[in-house]
Amino acid sequence: EVQLVESGGGLVQPGGSLRLSCAASGFTFSSYSMNWVRQAPGKGLEWVSYISSSSSTIYYADSVKGRFTISRDNAKNSLYLQMNSLRDEDTAVYYCARIYDSSGYFDYWGQGTLVTVSS
């Protein structure tokens, strides 16, 4: 059974940093591209970042470019999101999601971790 479990969320002040983790199991993690998708309270889904299976290709949404860094450790079956210079508008539930590269759909999602940016 595919499982994605996020952790690392919490309350942080504006300008602060946070590192999210996503532990994957039930599939060959090193064979799949992964993403972070977020959802602000009461709002819709927003794609945040993509990383290919070998980490050779990385993309970011314009809203986080230069502040967030996605990475992965295939030996540990883990995905990460380093978030710096956090802003109020980064407050959201952050989901890690596996993506099917050819068609760009997200076939498995974690349960999410809440990041709250507030003073």
Residue whose CB is less far from other proteins, 14 or 40: 40
Least gap, CB of 1 to other proteins (angstroms): 12
Least gap, CB of 72 to other proteins (angstroms): 15
Residue whose CB is less far from other proteins, 18 or 97: 97
Residue whose CB is less far from other proteins, 79 or 119: 79
Residue whose CB is less far from other proteins, 35 or 86: 35
Residues that bind other proteins (CB under 8 A): 35, 44-47, 50, 59-61, 95, 97, 99-100, 103-112
Least gap, CB of 70 to other proteins (angstroms): 11
For residues 30 and 94, what is the distance between their CA atoms, to the nearest angstrom? Answer: 21
